[in-house]
Structure 1
Amino acid sequence: MTFGIWLPVYGGWLRSLDIPAEPDVASCVAVAQQAEALGFDFLYASENLLNCIHGPSTNVIDAWSLLSAIAGSTSRIGLCGAVKPGFRSPLLVARMIDTITRIARRPVSLNVVCGWWQDEFHLADVDWLDHGRRYDRAEEFLRTINCLFDPEIDRSFFNSLLEEEAFHQGSGIYGSPAAKDRPHTFGLSKKNCPAIWIAGQSSRAVSMTAAWGDCLFINGMSDSALSGKIAEARQVAGRWGRDIDMAVNAYVIATEEPDQAVRRREKVVQDRNDATIAYFREIMSQSGASTWCGLSDEEMVDSNAGFNAGLIGSFDEIRRRLSQLREIGINRVVCQFDDPMRDAGPFMKRVVEPFQADCAAEAEAEPAR
């Protein structure tokens, strides 16, 4: 099991009245550097052009500009950034990833998010499609990304894109007969092709991950729902002869005593911003995505149902909870914190390191059984 931190590109993670709303670039870089020093495995930067926590009047940090800065100021920690197909062309994304990989001198992962905020699409002058067609667009985006880094993956598909001038209509460059006669890397390095995450929990998200992805990234949910989704995803991936990882979003409140964590959670829920929650409930209802249906006001305090992952409690309780998540089949935990500069260190030292030591001891003892 690996552990990552959401970079606070939206400011505070909670729709709560006493949580700072404005994001800060210097703070995000500081969080990244501290996470690397503490031993976290990766950083995750989400992409929204509007602030999906505090509302459109609040600033938001561009994920890929931030990752570029972090790539040059860290040396080991993994980097994963989100992209919404349609907002950036496949060729642009391939060029961005190739460049950031060279800056970082280590692999960069790509998380494909189909999006749910209709106003964001309209303001960005991107076609708003229904749920199924957003996934159609994402699947074409993924095939194109793979072909750009390695054209031999699907030469016929790539040539059809060139014929249709899918990247730049009317340019006359990509559709020329000379261009179709040879595979294209456009100077992109095959070794810099990113590992692919897919965010979502619909059947389309599962099937797309099974075919193209390395990791399915899902929201927090009940253990029975987690087990069902993991079984479904791995069964579908198995039909392709593939194995995939499962990542879950988790809001972490780790304290010395259980009642400390409970009180912190109760205060967060008590101080929730009802106006912001009502606003986003209406926005999400327009998306057509089943993910957002039926969430309570308490679940809406966190942007991705992170409370449901169950990482709220004492250090010992959370360590035991991680063992449960591992047994269910979770490989990666993507952590959000009230204050990562304050909370990430104790979580790593008091929870993750002992948990990893226990896992190592189990693995060592396994052959003897």
Structure 2
Amino acid sequence: MTIPDEKNLVSKDGTAPLRFAYWVPNVSGGLVISKIPQRTSWDADYNRKLAQIAEKAGFDYALTQIRFTAGYGAEYQHESVAFSHALLAATTRLKVIAAILPGPWNPTLAAKQIATISQLTEGRIAVNIVSGWFSGEFRAIGEPWLDHDERYRRSEEFIRSLKGIWTQDNFTFRGDFYRYTNYTLKPKPAGALPEVFQGGSSRAARDMAARVSDWYFTNGNTPDGLRAQVEDIRAKAAQGDNSPKIGVNAFVIARDTEEEARSVLDDIVAQADPDAVKAFGHEVKNAGKASPEGEGNWAKSTFEDLVQYNDGFRSNLIGTPDQIAERILALKEAGADLILLAFLHFQEEVDYFGREVLPRVRALEAQRSARTTAAPTAAAA
């Protein structure tokens, strides 16, 4: 199958086409906490080639990860902003989302880094503001570990600072974490403002997204679970002047038969590192329980869910290309604007997704758009 021309992707009913992103494996161990063999590498050459494959396959974004210490199979980690620039230098269309962690980063440094990369790449850089869940990592690098909601208050000030620095001369800001007095950054980012992504499922995370973020990432979920989150965020956003778009995480296992795909999933879980999965689960669940409502990302995650860092199996993109395309459309109908994907063997599976799944998604989008626009006409007749 071939991918339709991009200019034809806007639906007749005005619905924007789904966007697709992939997790950049700039951290060793892949995207599952499992000892299953993976034809995925964290090194630069592998990732440059992967970015080129993803761009050709029709992906819109790549998301780099930020880690400072080893753990859960992540023995090696490339720094996210520098690595993002390397991927941008190897591509021409792909946007790269650099993960940035308030605490180790100050908005002044981040704003200048991203503005420079934007100038060098015609605006193809974005940021993902990560509020933090790994207290041990903060202790290891000598950074204070704030209470749950304080981390999100700091992240919100970080985002407000970034946007102010990027858009205003003589920027002045008075927050609890960051303060600026008549600060002017030149040059500012090229073209449109860099998009700001963030994740999290707690009340504080969703409220922050509703107020200041351009995109909200959520862990893998069913369409019904996703719909509830989307409705909540949109209701909150309607109280202000922000309209965040929604991205949902998913792990893809696309094979010629559903039996083959399910067998791969079974093998990933069967070969999971139980101690590492439990340690990861303990850390992230404690982070969520620290929120006032006692719930956040991973609050309801099972052992199997935790084998994929962000509940990617729960989105159920496991089966044949036809099955996966239908399930992707169900996520779109639940409110997703973007699907953030992970794979076992990244290069070949990203290529396969681009050839076999993405064209089916576009065809389904076109069919459903045609039915939607035809329905009022038929009713009027």
TM-score higher than 0.5: yes
Q: Residue 59 of structure 2 corresponds to which residue in structure 1?
A: 40
Q: Kindly state the Cα deviation for residue 299 of structure 1 after the two structures are TM-superposed.
A: 0.9
Q: Is the 8 A contact 1:10 1:51 kept in 2?
A: no
Q: Is the 8 A contact 2:57 2:353 kept in 1?
A: no
Q: Report whether the alignment pairs 1:314 with 2:333.
A: no
Q: Is the 8 A contact 1:3 1:335 kept in 2?
A: yes
> 1: CA distance between counterparts of 2:302 and 2:371?
43
Q: Is the 8 A contact 2:23 2:62 kept in 1?
A: yes
Q: Report whether the alignment pairs 1:63 with 2:80.
A: yes
Q: Report whether the alignment pairs 1:341 with 2:319.
A: no
Give the match's secondary structure for 2:103.
coil
Q: Kindly state the Cα deviation for residue 84 of structure 1 after the two structures are TM-superposed.
A: 1.1
Shift of the 116–165 alpha-carbon distance from structure 1 to 2, 3 Å rule, reads closer
Aligned partner of 2:35: which letter?
L
> 2: CA distance between counterparts of 1:317 and 1:31?
25
Q: Residue 223 of structure 1 corresponds to which residue in structure 2?
A: 223
Instruction: Write the deviation string for residues 294-313 of structure 1: whole angstroms up to 9, x where unpaired.
Output: 42211111000000011011
Q: Residue 42 of structure 2 corresponds to which residue in structure 1?
A: 23
Q: Is the 8 A contact 1:10 1:53 kept in 2?
A: no
Runs of 4+ displaced beyond 6 Å:
none
Q: Report whether the alignment pairs 1:281 with 2:281.
A: yes
Q: Is the 8 A contact 1:76 1:106 kept in 2?
A: no
Q: Residue 295 of structure 1 corresponds to which residue in structure 2?
A: 301
Instruction: Write the deviation string for residues 238-278 of structure 1: whole angstroms up to 9, x where unpaired.
Output: 11143221101100000111100011111111111112112
> 1: CA distance between counterparts of 2:274 and 2:51?
31
> 2: CA distance between counterparts of 1:353 and 1:362?
14
> 1: CA distance between counterparts of 2:310 and 2:247?
13
Q: Which runs of 5+ in 2 are unaligned?
A: 1-17, 376-381
Shift of the 335–166 alpha-carbon distance from structure 1 to 2, 3 Å rule, reads closer
Shift of the 313–51 alpha-carbon distance from structure 1 to 2, 3 Å rule, reads farther
Q: Kindly state the Cα deviation for residue 281 of structure 1 after the two structures are TM-superposed.
A: 2.4
Aligned partner of 2:263: which letter?
R
Shift of the 132–304 alpha-carbon distance from structure 1 to 2, 3 Å rule, reads same
Question: Could you tell which deviates more after superposition, 189-198 or 218-227?
Answer: 189-198
- Higher relative contact order, structure no. (Cα contacts within 8 Å, ≥ 6 residues apart): 2
Q: Residue 258 of structure 1 corresponds to which residue in structure 2?
A: 258
Give the match's secondary structure for 2:249.
strand
Q: Report whether the alignment pairs 1:5 with 2:19.
A: no
Structure with greater helix percent: 1
Q: Residue 4 of structure 2 corresponds to which residue in structure 1?
A: none
> 2: CA distance between counterparts of 1:301 and 1:184?
45
Q: Residue 202 of structure 2 corresponds to which residue in structure 1?
A: 202
Q: Residue 232 of structure 2 corresponds to which residue in structure 1?
A: 232
> 1: CA distance between counterparts of 2:79 and 2:153?
25
Give the match's secondary structure for 2:221.
coil
Q: Is the 8 A contact 1:47 1:63 kept in 2?
A: yes
Q: Residue 356 of structure 2 corresponds to which residue in structure 1?
A: 350
Q: Is the 8 A contact 2:41 2:47 kept in 1?
A: no
Give the match's secondary structure for 2:238.
helix
Shift of the 296–185 alpha-carbon distance from structure 1 to 2, 3 Å rule, reads same
Q: Residue 142 of structure 1 corresponds to which residue in structure 2?
A: 159
Instruction: Write the deviation string for residues 35-73 of structure 1: whole angstroms up to 9, x where unpaired.
Output: 112121111112121245415xx1111111111111111
Q: Is the 8 A contact 2:159 2:212 kept in 1?
A: yes
Aligned partner of 2:33: which letter?
R
> 2: CA distance between counterparts of 1:319 and 1:159?
46
Q: Is the 8 A contact 2:198 2:209 kept in 1?
A: yes
1:187-198 equivalent positions in 2, closer than 5 A: 187-189=187-189, 191=191, 193-198=193-198
Q: Which runs of 5+ in 1 are unaligned?
A: 168-173
Shift of the 52–31 alpha-carbon distance from structure 1 to 2, 3 Å rule, reads farther
Shift of the 366–46 alpha-carbon distance from structure 1 to 2, 3 Å rule, reads same
Give the match's secondary structure for 2:174.
helix
Q: Residue 108 of structure 1 corresponds to which residue in structure 2?
A: 125
Give the match's secondary structure for 1:326.
helix
Give the match's secondary structure for 2:36.
coil
Q: Kindly state the Cα deviation for residue 186 of structure 1 after the two structures are TM-superposed.
A: 4.2
Q: Kindly state the Cα deviation for residue 104 of structure 1 after the two structures are TM-superposed.
A: 1.7
Q: Is the 8 A contact 1:101 1:192 kept in 2?
A: no
Q: Kindly state the Cα deviation for residue 366 of structure 1 after the two structures are TM-superposed.
A: 4.2
> 2: CA distance between counterparts of 1:233 and 1:43?
24
Aligned partner of 1:337: which letter?
F
Aligned partner of 1:302: which letter?
Q
The count of residues paired between Structure 1 and Structure 2 equals 350
Q: Is the 8 A contact 1:217 1:247 kept in 2?
A: yes
Q: Is the 8 A contact 2:64 2:80 kept in 1?
A: yes
Q: Report whether the alignment pairs 1:89 with 2:106.
A: yes
Shift of the 15–72 alpha-carbon distance from structure 1 to 2, 3 Å rule, reads same
Q: Report whether the alignment pairs 1:184 with 2:184.
A: yes
Match 1:160 to one of 171, 174, 185 = 174
Tell me the TM-score normalized by structure 1: 0.88
